[in-house]
Amino acid sequence: MIPITVVDAFTSQPFSGNPAAVCMLERWPNGEWLQLVAREMNLSETAFLVPLRDAEFELRWLTPTVEVALCGHATLAAAHAIWELQQAKNTELRFQTRSGCLSATRLPEQQIALDFPQKPALACHAPRQLFGSLGITEQPLLRNEFDYLIELDSEASVRAIRPNFQLLRNVDCRGVIVTARAEDPRFDFVSRFFAPAVGVDEDPVTGSAHCCLAHHWNNKLTKQDLVGYQASLRGGIVRMHCKRDRVKLIGEAITVLKGHLLTLPPT
């Protein structure tokens, strides 16, 4: 039997934040089996781990439809699961991924800090259907290697967006980040993230999007330490500390389900 856990990330309350499944493996099966498991879990991401040595793991992330190159909330969930389920004593974990070596550090008060690369977005031309699929007028547009970034005039405008996901699915990108300054003084900005092209219409809390948002708002607000609120139905808080080309994504996590896969991968 293969242990599998569901963890709500970037939250301290169950049934909020972003749920991720965490699957601990002894070796890598074929990619088709990984994709079937991710589709079965039907969450934004399932994290698959294979141990390399003490406190170091290979880590891969799959949505219900594709494997992705970077995922923050499932990395947070994976670190939480390792520390909780394996009673690991190390205060730092290392993950070898498609985006290089990432680390997670255990902080006081149940918080975890992920060390991720910043992903700056640059000005670009709008692709056909992008603004129409979001139901908004054309705005200045930025893009990084993964996503488009649009800053709107108000938090209310961000919350009011009702995308046409069928149209948005045809836009050539992983996803679209929409953001604005926060009205609540506890937060610097709010955001939402839409990624129907990779099988996630609206992601509840997106760590990798904050690698872009941290750079954007650090430049606009000249603040190294930022707090973002992702204004999805579930909602979640991401704290950030920017340093050179890296960003620490800081959040909490809580386990909501523990179990085992009864169907083993092919040998």
45 flagged as catalytic: yes
Distances (CA, A) of 62 to 13, 38, 88, 189: 24, 6, 25, 28
- Confirm if 11 and 238 have CB atoms less than 8 A apart: no
Query: Which of 26, 32, 40, 45 is flagged as catalytic?
Result: 45
Size of the chain in residues: 267
CA 122 to the chain's CA centroid: 21
* Burial of 184: CB neighbours in 10 Å, binned 0-12, 13-18, 19+: exposed
Name the phi and psi angles at 259, rounded to 5: -165, -165
Residues 6+ apart with CB under 8 A from 42: 64
Q: Which residues are catalytic?
A: 45
